[in-house]
Amino acid sequence: RDEGPPREIQDVRDNSKDGEYWEALTHIIPQQKLKLWDALGAALLEYHKVLTRRSELFSEATALQRQNS
């Protein structure tokens, strides 16, 4: 039985195409779909602003109704 030091296992992996692989992953979602998502995101932010303002106005109107009662 050989009780020498453990042999190191070298991971010999071909990484020559790694850059190509990662570059390809940056184009998985088509540009048109990204533009659509950006537009939807911007529209949702505007909608959120409108709803927030409506909520504020509703609170003000409720307070005024209480004062007038």
pTM of the model: 0.57
Separation CA 4–CA 2 (nearest Å): 6
Per-residue pLDDT, 64? 96
Give the chain's radius of gyration (CA, Å): 30
State pLDDT tens for residues 12-67: 788 889 999 999 998 899 999 999 999 999 999 999 999 999 999 999 999 999 99
